[in-house]
Structure 1
């Protein structure tokens, strides 16, 4: 869950930010260790990472028929590596009415 209400101020733009990049590419994005993968300047491009103090994230596109309907964001704040099972997260079949692959 969120730690504050700052996420409400984030504007979703296709191609910008974590969810925006996933919406643009249609592919999942995994950042296993934010501190080693992103410089401070790069972190600014991902406001959700800063506002929620995330140390690792997985963002998965959610498709409904031939249209992207949203992005599922999974994150952690404890500086632990992502669980291996998360790296193998497979929702190609279905989550509710959504799929990961168009």
Structure 2
């Protein structure tokens, strides 16, 4: 049931998979507390989510799986945008340095 998410894979897909696994177990009368499910999802996240997990644990009192998924989607979108901006910025800096060496 539990699997460690690899770097670069979608956290939202991971949440959905874990949610399906928990629902399957609940069908055979293995009940999970929602907080335990959220803890399992966060604990099996890659290290690139450490800052998100820290912030989540410091600020969030109680969320549902859907709310967690939405938070993770927002976080992923921010990471992609941040990565794009840093790559674009690095490319622009490299181009400016190259132009200056003529």
By the TM > 0.5 criterion, same fold?
A: no
| Structure with greater helix percent | 2
TM-score scaled by structure 1? Answer: 0.30
Structure with more contact order per residue of length (Cα contacts < 8 Å, sep ≥ 6): 2
| Structure with greater strand percent | 1
TM-score scaled by structure 2? Answer: 0.30
Q: In terms of Rg, which structure is larger? A: 2
